[in-house]
Amino acid sequence: MQTILFFVSLITIFEIVKADDPLRPQYHLMPEKNWLNDPNGPVYFNGYYHMFFQYNPNGAVWGDMHWGHCYSKDMVHWIHLPVALAPDQSYDINGIFTGSTTIVNGIPTIIYTGITNTSQQVQCQAQPVDITDPTLTKWKKSPLNPLITAPNGRDPSTAFQDDENNYYLIYGYGTEEEGGQAVLFTSKDFLKWTYLHPLHSNHYDRFWECPDIFGVSNRIVLKASLLGRDFWTLGDIDPAKLIFIPDNHDLGEYIQLIDHGRFYASKTFYDPVNDQQVIMGWTSEEDNLGPKRGWQGCHTLPRAIFLSDDGLQLLSRPIDALKTLRDDQSHQHFHSVVLPPTTPFELIPEVHGNQIEIVINWQFPMHENLDFGLIVLSTPDGSQRTSIGIASRDNTSVMLNWDLPAWDYLSVPSIIEWSECETACNRDTKCQAWTFVKDRQVNNNCFLKSGVPFPSPNSVCVSGVKQQGDDKQILWVYMNRILSQKNPDAAHDIIHAPLWVETTTTNAHWFLQLDIFVDHSIIEVFEPQGGRFALTGHVYPEDGTADNLAVYINEGPADDDDSIVIDTLDIWKLNTIWT
């Protein structure tokens, strides 16, 4: 099978760039202090990107973790290389776990978590045997390993430096009492490390995995994996206390998701060739047949991450180089397609594919109750299909007989009426949405949420979304997997991303572009123009004819004179990433 994604778990990417590429701009993250100099930027090494990943050479099951290795000139087309690191020492004999690469004095230097013969988690170092080898195939472990033995955490991130050339390193840790943490170490020589304290912590989860800290547009971003998801937060580092202080929302609040679907253990790195910060994540399987198929999880597509114009949101979109995967001869284009008001299921004629990219531009009326979308991986009769849809409601401040299930962080006491629950949300800076359950007892009936879940009809509930102004309305972009597969042990739930859109005067319609990548069992959905969300999910259609595309309208415009329109629809088959 040709695939555009990796069947492996992401560990690290670092850039090796040409000598004539521009230097990375310096980030001024605090007054008169360039605190977060990423060492990767100004290092040049023959124009190759290298990626490492957790890998079990003995089967698609957990255990005996090595570091696989591949490299690329464009982050899109990859070449396999031999295993870089194997568990062969007492300090890593039970597994080579997650780590990162930092360029130290011109040498790519890995720090990884080793699992010792006593199952302790320790931090170890490795460097290339021959830095003149552009493939960096062979690696040697430091004779000083393990370099860090406590606290008992894992997943060291790329290191950074201050103005006095001190290195700083974080990795994941946490306890039931102290909550999840990114612990901070410092070193002068990258060998002898001194533990300082937690850089940041909270109690949303008891342990953080894969923390990462980096600069984007002169701001500091901290991300970590917790609660089974990847979260981000913007903030500053106190130069005296050396602690991270979030601006507003913190890690673990669902308004701050990097991807709203199956996305975890991500890593970021600076790409100086294209002057962009790039993130890739690991998306694990969502059924029980991984060992039979021969892989367990894969990498997501590389995404450029950047800030919104107001500097308050972390955004992402697929890197431009992914367009080189398109098979131009397969390109199909449609425009100005007006959907009939009653369209439960309509095939798009002569369009097939299970390894494709779809760019669709929707036009639909504002302030309506709508539910419509595009269907992928469908059988001709639609009995097996996956819907990528858009849902909107005319009024989301109060939705009678609707639930917003999950993402609760607080049950507000002493609430008698739903209006009191709405007031409690509006007064809480963390709250994004609320649900009042009419048949629950007082003190267990008003639930505040740190994100905006997907609405579900429920006669005993009243829900609402905290409004962001008269000129904005929330939509939900979703992936409906109820009919995606027959296997009862595969995921069938609806996953979604909330999206705020601004009212315009253009024809009383909204315009929304979606960029959809379908790779057999992986679907990644983006809003590429603004980069406002990413949504990744797995589906496993058993029917061999499930490669059709279709459109549908579950709930259309109230006015018969109004329509949902596909302004443009472009579809390409995608070539393989492997060279």
How confident is the model at residue 39, as a pLDDT? 27
Cα–Cα dist 431/255, whole Å: 9
Comparing 9 with 289, which gets the higher pLDDT?
Answer: 289
Cα–Cα dist 222/160, whole Å: 13
CA 10 to chain CA centroid, Å, is: 12
- Which residues lie across from 501 on neighbouring strands? 473
- Using 50, 70 and 90 to split pLDDT, how confident is the model at 436? very high
How confident is the model at residue 344, as a pLDDT? 96
Q: Give the C-alpha distances (Å, rounded to integers) separating 159 from 14, 79, 100, 199, 209.
A: 12, 27, 8, 13, 16
Cα–Cα dist 343/165, whole Å: 63
How confident is the model at residue 271, as a pLDDT? 87
How confident is the model at residue 214, as a pLDDT? 92
Which class is domain 34-322? mainly beta
φ, ψ for residue 325 (rounded to 5)? -80, -15
In 3D space, the residue among 209, 202, 227 whose CA is nearest the CA of residue 267 turns out to be 209
How confident is the model at residue 269, as a pLDDT? 87
Domain with CATH 2.60.120.560 in the chain: 326-394+470-573
- Using 50, 70 and 90 to split pLDDT, how confident is the model at 507? confident
Q: What is the pLDDT of residues 343-372, one digit of tens each?
A: 999 999 999 999 999 999 999 999 999 999
Q: Which helix (H) or strand (E) holds 290?
A: helix 290-293
Tokens standing for residue 549: 């595309």
How confident is the model at residue 44, as a pLDDT? 28
What are 337-342's contacts with CB under 8 Å, separation 24+? 337/551, 337/565, 337/566, 337/569, 338/563, 338/564, 338/565, 339/372, 339/551, 339/553, 339/556, 339/563, 339/564, 339/565, 339/566, 340/553, 341/553, 341/556, 341/557, 341/560, 341/563, 342/553, 342/556
**Pairing assessment for the beta strands 194-202 and 179-187 based on DSSP bridges:** antiparallel
Comparing 122 with 26, which gets the higher pLDDT?
Answer: 122
**Lowest mean per-residue pLDDT among 65-79, 397-411, 446-460:** 65-79
**Lowest mean per-residue pLDDT among 39-53, 63-77, 283-297, 527-541:** 39-53
Residue 8 has pLDDT above 80, yes or no: no
How confident is the model at residue 260, as a pLDDT? 98
Residue 101 has pLDDT above 70, yes or no: yes
Q: Work out the mean pLDDT of the chain and round it to a whole number.
A: 90
How confident is the model at residue 20, as a pLDDT? 26
190-217: average pLDDT? 97
Cα–Cα dist 313/532, whole Å: 9
Which class is domain 326-394+470-573? mainly beta
- Using 50, 70 and 90 to split pLDDT, how confident is the model at 172? very high
Cα–Cα dist 114/225, whole Å: 19
The C-alpha R_g of the chain, in whole angstroms, comes to: 24
CB 73 within 8 A of CB 13: no
- Using 50, 70 and 90 to split pLDDT, how confident is the model at 153? very high
Domain with CATH 3.50.4.10 in the chain: 399-465
Cis ω before 151 (30° cut-off from 0): yes
Overall pTM surpassing 0.95 (yes/no): no
379 in helix, strand or coil?
A: coil
- Using 50, 70 and 90 to split pLDDT, how confident is the model at 45? low
- Using 50, 70 and 90 to split pLDDT, how confident is the model at 493? very high
Cα–Cα dist 168/145, whole Å: 18
158-166: average pLDDT? 90
CATH, range 399-465: 3.50.4.10
Q: Which helix (H) or strand (E) holds 306?
A: strand 303-307
Of the chain, the percentage scoring pLDDT greater than 70 comes to 92
How confident is the model at residue 371, as a pLDDT? 98
- Angle (CA) 202-208-213 rounded to 5° is 90
- Angle (CA) 26-27-31 rounded to 5° is 120
Cα–Cα dist 45/377, whole Å: 42
How confident is the model at residue 34, as a pLDDT? 30
Tokens standing for residue 51: 């990626």
Point out the residues that are catalytic: 38
Residue 474 has pLDDT above 90, yes or no: yes
